[in-house]
Every structure is written in structure tokens, then in C-alpha cells.
A = this chain, B = another copy of it.
Amino acid sequence: MATDLQIYSTTYETALLRDIIPFWEKYSPDREYGGYFTCLDRTGNVFDTDKFLWLQGRQAWTFSMLYNRLEQKEDWLEISRLGIEFLDKYGRDRHGDFYFSLSRKGEPLVQPYNIFSDCFAAMAFSQYSKASQREEMGVKATDIFRKILKRRDNPKGIYNKIYPGTRSLKNFALPMILSNLCLEMEEFLDKGLVEATLDECVVEVMEAFLDNERMLVYENLLTDNSFSDSFEGRLINPGHGIEAMWFMLDIAMRREDQALAEKAKEVILHLVEYGWDKEHGGIFYFLDVKGHPPQQLEWDQKLWWVHLETLVALAKAFKITGDPHCWEWFGRVHAYTWENFPDPEHGEWFGYLNRRGEVLLPLKGGKWKGCFHVPRALYEVWQALEDIEKLKIN
């Protein structure tokens, strides 16, 4: 296994530093208007110039994160700055909420109906503040964080199309993202606020959204925490649940909470087994908990982020718990992922495969895929594997 570990570890490191990062460094920066192009075709050509704020924030975060954790390369800081300053200059409406998308030049296109623009902006500003040592950026990050907490109960605001009262649902994504964002921003936040927010997030994720009998994570729940027998309530997104579990593992490590780590590991193993396509391999995008047809026509597709986040979760879970099932599953998901997603011809990874693992959209980036899940996961898995190696030697 030691040899396996080394081979795997080198694979993730090499792909990150020789393939993924150079691709985005080369094709993505918009040196003319600031920010990044994310709609890149198979060869890296820009096929659309709109700027989607999730992806602007995420890419700015990625380059600052690499600067802070891996190597203080001036180029990385500069690329991060390009996104931060674009976000800072054009990103907010008059209430301080972040738009969903802007034109290439920064004119608003889609209103702030989606609070995750704000979440990824806060993540980016705080990481960049550490990298650049520009304190004002940390202040901006905390301002955004506070506004997110305020909007928490009705994150879509006036753009919410749900009629109030008939079926009051809450969504999994916000407590999930907050549990990660809170750790990300820890040094900028009041200690009490961090602990309180983490406590709430862990309860929401592990007690409310996690169905402890089925060991599945719901995407939507009634506000009294009960199951809603509706399209929204029955929806399972295995990759989403698994990603949340590695955020839980991070919290468990920080708090030395072995019980939380064990529980998160069990959920990861169950979700990957549940979501695995026994016929064609890979993890389904969406399933209905009762086995009914989901409303998502893309339900059977194999998405890059689902597989990468699963690899992160399995590597971390193995590192922390040593459960050999995690290592077995890591091998299986690794084999599927590396066989199907990377593009050996033009570099970087395809994002969207059909059920059979054939390329569905020959893009490297688009409205939802940017410079984030691939580099973050490659980095996280590489680090976890190195830690495991060190543990084996000691």
C-alpha cells in the first residue's frame, strides 16, 4: 500500500501543478476588464464572456489558497487580485448583495437571487486578505459573512417563488456551505460566533438533514425537520451529501471529535454505495429517495465535482479513521474518475459525462464549472495522502 500511496499522491500533485493550474493561468484571466473568463471550450478558447460570480469568487479563492498553503508565487497572488478587485468594484448591488452574473465589463446581468455568490465572495476576500496582507479585504469578508447570516432564513429574498406557509422547506446547501466558510474565515471572526455557527451547522447537517435511519442526506426538509413527500423533499444528491461530510470531518479534526468523524465516515461510505451506478460505474447526480423519477432530467449524468469531492471525502475519512472500506472505495472511485474525466489531448478535465461515461459537453469551464473543484480536490487529496504516508512511517 505504501507504493500505491506514493503513486496516487504524485498523480494528484502532478495534475494540479502541471495540468490544471497552468490551464487556468493561461486561458482564464481577463487582463483587459478584470476577473476571469470561465466559459472555455475543450482547447481553452473563450466561448462566452459573461462573468458568473460563484466562479469569480471561487477562482480568486483558489489562487490565494495555493499562495497561502503551497507556494508564495507572485503570479498566483496577481491572478487572485484580478478576481477580487473585479468582485469588489462591480459585484454588489446597492444593498451590498452580490449579483449572480455580470457582463464581461462588469455590468449587472442577473440579480442577487442566489446567496452562494456572497458565500464564495466571502471565502475569496478572506483568503486573499491573508495572501495579500491587505487587512481591508478581511474586513470586507466579515461584512459579507454577517450579511449572509442575516439573509439566512430567506436567502432568495424577493426572488423567492414559493408561496409562504403551504409547504415551508429549508435547503441543505446553506448550512453545508456555512460549515466550510466558517472554518475558512475563522481568523477573521469572533471566536464565539465561529463556535456558535459551527454548532448550529453540525446539528443541521448531522441531525436534521441526515436521515439517521437511511443514512442519506436530504436536499430539502420541512422547517420542522420532517420529511416532505414532494419532488424537492425526496431529492438525494449523493455528491452534495458526501462533500458536506468532508466539511464535517474538518470540523471533527479541529474539535478532536472522534464520534463526529466516525459518523461522517459511515455516511460517506453509505452515500457512495447508494449513489454508485452498478451498471456503468460512477456516481449518479440525483436520485429520488423513494425510487420515483426525479424531476432533474440530468439525474443519471456523471459530474466532475461529485467524483472529486467523493475522493476528498474518502481520503480524509481514511486518514482520520483508518477504515479499510474507505481505501477500497477510494481505489474504485479513483479508477473511474481518472479514466473518464481528464482530457489527455488538451489538458484539464471534462465536467459533464453521460451515464456511460462519454463526454456530454466538451467544455473545460462554463456557467458552473470553473477553477475550483478540480484544483481544490487535487490539493486536498494530495495533502491527505501525504499525511497518511507520514502516519504509516511513524
Contacts and interface: CB of A to CB of B under 8 A. Distances in A.
A99 B163 contact: yes
Contacts of A159: 159, 161
A167 B109 contact: yes
A147 interface: no
A299 B297 CA distance: 10
A249 to B, nearest CB: 29
A31 interface: no
Interface string A226-253: 0001110000000000000000000000
A217 B100 CA distance: 28
Interface string A365-381: 01100000000000000
Nearest to A303: B297
Contact of A109 (B48, B100, B166, B294): B166
Interface residue tally on A, bucketed by range: 35 or more
If over half of A's interface residues share one DSSP class (helix, strand or loop), that class is named, otherwise mixed; here it is loop
B293 A361 contact: yes
A391 interface: no
Nearest to A105: B166
B295 A166 contact: no
A300 interface: yes
A301 interface: yes
A295 B109 contact: no
Nearest to A159: B161
A153 to B, nearest CB: 18
A275 interface: no
Instruction: Pick the most buried of A162, A294, A362: most chain B CB atoms within 10 A of its CB.
Output: A162
Contact of A295 (B108, B354, B366): B366
A95 interface: no
Given A50-B230, A298-B297, A111 B292 contact: no
A41 interface: yes
B297 A360 contact: yes
Contacts of A158: 158
Best-buried of A111, A163, A363 by chain B (most CB within 10 Å): A163
A265 interface: no
B354 A293 contact: no
Nearest to A285: B297
B41 A352 contact: no
A162 B293 contact: no
Nearest to A365: B293
Interface string A274-292: 0000000000000000101
Given A48-B230, A360-B300, A107 B166 contact: yes
A160 to B, nearest CB: 8
A163 B109 contact: yes
A366 B296 CA distance: 11
Interface in A156-187: 158-159, 161-163, 166-167
A231 B113 contact: no
A14 interface: no
Given A107-B166, A166-B108, A366 B100 contact: no
Given A300-B354, A354-B354, 17 more contacts: A47-B292, A48-B292, A50-B230, A107-B166, A108-B166, A109-B162, A109-B166, A109-B167, A110-B161, A110-B163, A111-B161, A159-B159, A297-B298, A297-B301, A297-B360, A299-B361, A354-B355
